[in-house]
Amino acid sequence: MKLLFIRHGDPDYEHDSLTEKGVREAECLGKFLHEKRLDAVYVSPLGRAQKTAEIALRGRGDGFETLDWLREFAVPFAMPETGAKHWIWDFYPSFMQKYPQLYSQSDWQNLPFIANSSVPERYAAVCEGMDTLLARHGYERVGNRYAAVRSNRETLAFFCHFGVTGVILSHLFNLAPVPLLQHFVAAPTSVTVVYTEEREEGIASFRCARYGDVSHLIVGNEPVSFAARFCETFDDPTERH
């Protein structure tokens, strides 16, 4: 099985849609997907993901299913020092150093500021949603791996968001989500490709072949959006800090 995780185009967050650039990015994505077989397509309910899917799939005749748990993982918690609202995909490096448990699959949810929020409940809901979906396609979660009950070469596409993709990948790879969200970046309309590997009969594991691929933008002469990145050097006031 192959999973394609596709981030929405350059966002207009105020209207939960796409900017003009985001529309162009989605059109480039559509050319990339044009001749690719998609056995099933799943989409976040948020407008920016819906719009990206509609543009990218235009003319293909593919329908898609909207899944609520694919919405962005914008689940707030209160920062321990200030009480300010925050999200698990946006920490300063000094904070990550102060709380190394954020790198641990077994410990990150036990930190009081995480445990006392809705993050664990929402994280479990996303993991359960993904496992229920994979079971429909023949792969059933058993402990920290998957039983290949009906192994196949289907291709599933997910039009969703940077944060929820990191959460899903952390579950598939048995990792904490925070380091994936802190140290990897997926630009708008980037494509992350994950395969199953069945090296032992009846046992499937997931492996990432490409993360945040933007080759369709390069081919289409469309600049890669800076969204999801932060300043490359601290002294650049034009880039997000």
Q: What is the pLDDT of residues 138-192, one digit of tens each?
A: 999 999 999 999 999 999 999 999 999 999 999 999 999 999 999 999 999 999 9
- Evaluate if pTM is beyond 0.75: yes
pLDDT of 228 > 80? The answer is no
* Structural domains of the chain, with CATH: 2-219 (3.40.50.1240)
Dist CA 145 CA 142 (whole Å): 5
Dist CA 241 CA 238 (whole Å): 9
Residue 81, pLDDT score: 84
